[in-house]
Amino acid sequence: MKEPIRNKKMQIAALALACAVLLFAGGCATTSGSSSTAAMKIAESERSIDAARHDCVQNASDLRNAELKLTQARAALDAQDYLNAAWRAEEATADANYARTKAAQEQAEQDAEHLQKSNARLKNGLNDAKSY
């Protein structure tokens, strides 16, 4: 009679242990982030920074923020602070994307300005031709 009770107790203890492990793992995933997510986000930010580096040759200062955040993300990953690593990597990606978009904005505005100047010159040419 004592044996089945002991078995049942052990089953309950095992179940409790499994629940505890699951809750602990779940807690780690939500509050501390996972190493794979952090590594994935770091890889994404590296790609964004490379792309921005390619596009923002003349405006490298905007990229400094992104590179600094990436360094912080890598350090946090090494320290196994996965949530911090993922957040810093997300910020690095946002910084790189902003640097890239800003460079494209400056280019588009410069193009419009050049065309405006060229049109002004042409208008003058037309007026001169009329006066002949």
Partner 1 sequence: MTVKMHTLSGYGLILCLALIFSGCAASQQELMARDHLANARTAYNQAKADPTVEANAPMPLMDAGKTLEAAEQARDFYEMDHLAYMAERETQIATALARITVARQKSGELRRENDQMIEKLDARARSTVDPEADKREDRAKAEEERRQRTPQHD
Cβ neighbours around 77 below 10 Å, total: 21
- Classified as helix, coil or strand, 79 is coil
What proportions of the chain, in percent to the nearest 5, are helix, strand and coil? 90, 0, 10
Selected binder of partner 1 within 36, 58, 61, 116 (CB under 8 A) = 116
Name the CA dihedral angle for 24, 28, 30, 36, rounded to a multiple of 10 degrees: -140
| CB of 53 or CB of 102, closer to partner 1 | 102
71 is a site residue for partner 1 (CB under 8 A): no
Selected binder of partner 1 within 46, 63, 111, 131 (CB under 8 A) = 111
118 is a site residue for partner 1 (CB under 8 A): yes
To partner 1, the closest distance from the beta carbon of 83 in angstroms equals 8
123 is a site residue for partner 1 (CB under 8 A): yes
To partner 1, the closest distance from the beta carbon of 78 in angstroms equals 19
Name the CA dihedral angle for 78, 82, 88, 94, rounded to a multiple of 10 degrees: 120
98 is a site residue for partner 1 (CB under 8 A): yes
- Kindly list the distances between the CA atom of residue 31 and the CA atoms of 54, 70, 80, 84, 110, in Å, as whole numbers in the listed order: 35, 21, 13, 10, 46
Interface size with partner 1, residues (CB under 8 A) = 25
Residues that bind partner 1 (CB under 8 A): 87, 90-91, 94-95, 97-98, 101-102, 104-105, 108-109, 111-112, 115-116, 118-119, 122-123, 125-126, 129, 132
